[in-house]
Amino acid sequence: MEKKINFQLLSIFILASLLIVSTLAKNPLFIFGDSILDAGNNNYINTSTLVQANIRPYGITFFHFPTGRFSDGRIISDFIAEHANLPFIPPFLQPGKHHFYNGVNFASAAAGALAETNQGLVIDFHMQLQNYKKVEKLFRHKFGEVEAKKRLTSAVYLFSIGANDYLSLFLTNSSILTTYTKSEYVELVIGNITSVITEIYNTGGRKFAFLNVPKIGCVPVSRISNADGECNTEPSEYAMLHNRALFHVLEELKMKLPGFKYSFYDFYTCAQQRIDYPSKYGFKEGKTACCGTGKFRGIWSCGGTRLVKEFELCENVNDYVFWDSTHFTEKVYEQLADEMWNLHSYGSHSIKELFYLS
Ligand SMILES: *[C@@H]1O[C@H](CO)[C@@H](O)[C@H](O)[C@H]1NC(C)=O
Ligand SMILES: *[C@@H]1O[C@H](CO)[C@@H](O)[C@H](O)[C@H]1NC(C)=O
Ligand SMILES: *[C@@H]1O[C@H](CO)[C@@H](O)[C@H](O)[C@H]1NC(C)=O
């Protein structure tokens, strides 16, 4: 008798676990931002080859063909989807039949939070929001109000945005560098991010995951502007101000918006660890990129369709932290995504928790 009850309890437990797992698998992943997360949207827009990665040797490691991802292989959004038991999340603009039920990737390489950042070359952040709203409408049409809302509420919204708003000022020697103070400009960027989060919240979104801005003065393209090859301090100052303000805003939103949950990943510190101490993480080279031209291979030339056509490619990409003059290798992205999935930073949730929490 006792054995039988235990057996019944066990089956109930197994059934319950299966139910939890099957509900879990339905949490969609919506992805916004820049090249750290873009899985190929820029392949399908009228833009310049300067902001596209649909050329060899991009993609050589994992896909064995260029997909539009700015790396040798998978990027952070791919690894997060993998951890969540989701398939690769399709780019919003990818032609073909997609139901988008597992989520959509709206990110666009070179995009910033401000419409002015690389304007005309990218799907800017507000346009990404408009594209999300099209999918939201599709969900309502397909599932009805109640079920659509349930899915949008259980979804995780992943963001990497801001780095291009700052880096582009230096790459173009923008007059903004002298007309705005650093904090005034950061305030505009953060203001625009806040309004996008709030709009997604208003559609039912509750689970938000953020990467902060990396130390952009230490990417190879910034290092070459210093004669001594050291990091360029000014771009990194913007990043630090931005990161402090972003964390502050997320805490404020948590107070203000019922049910708002977030994950904050300290991309700045964790990526910099690999740059400063490559051997600790299984790399041999933290400063020079695998693919590019000149000192640190810091000239934006990988693939041969940019302004400079000649480029070098390293022998063993797994030895390198940087893939090209501004992006990391798949090996770095995998390590960082594993951390994001598991780690709680500054009292925020891990992404794993966001997926599991109801
Ligand atoms: C693409 O952009 C260029 C320059 O902005 C423009 O001249 C051209 O008409 C555009 N093509 C399409 C198909 O929209
Ligand atoms: C950047 O622009 C400023 C004026 O806005 C000019 O004084 C400076 O020389 C320029 N720097 C470079 C590297 O072109
Ligand atoms: C968003 O950025 C634009 C510039 O692109 C700026 O005019 C506007 O004030 C910003 N919005 C907020 C809420 O900060």
What's the rounded mean pLDDT across residues 64-88?
Answer: 97
pLDDT for position 26? 74
DSSP of 169-224, one letter per residue? HHHTT-THHHHS-HHHHHHHHHHHHHHHHHHHHHTT--EEEEE----GGGSHHHHT
CB 66 within 8 A of CB 37: no
Decide if pLDDT at 17 tops 70: no
Sketch out the chain's domains with CATH numbers.
27-270+342-356 (3.40.50)
Decide if pLDDT at 352 tops 80: yes
pLDDT for position 98? 81
Specify the pTM.
0.92
Using a 6 Å cutoff on CB, does residue 173 contact ligand 2? yes
Using a 6 Å cutoff on CB, does residue 179 contact ligand 2? no
- Give distance in angstroms: CA of 19 to centre of ligand 1: 50
Q: Whose CA is nearest to atom 6 of ligand 3?
A: 188
The rounded mean pLDDT for the chain is 93
Write out pLDDT tens, residues 324-351.
999 999 999 999 999 999 998 887 999 9
pLDDT tier at 1 (50, 70, 90 boundaries)? very low
Which of 280, 249, 283, 282 lies closest to 264, judged by CA? 249
Decide if pLDDT at 2 tops 70: no
Q: Of 5-19, 56-70, 236-250, where does mean pLDDT reach its minimum?
A: 5-19
User: Has 327 been annotated as catalytic?
Assistant: yes
Decide if pLDDT at 51 tops 60: yes
Write out pLDDT tens, residues 118-166.
999 999 999 999 999 999 999 999 999 999 999 999 999 999 999 999 9
Decide if pLDDT at 22 tops 50: no
Decide if pLDDT at 24 tops 50: no
Ligand at minimal distance from the CA of 176 is 2
Q: Is 297 left (phi over 0), alpha (psi -120 to 50) or beta?
A: left
Atom of ligand 2 nearest to the CA of 177: 5
- CB within 8 A of 279, min separation 6: which ones? none
Between 19 and 330, where is the model more confident?
330
pLDDT for position 231? 97
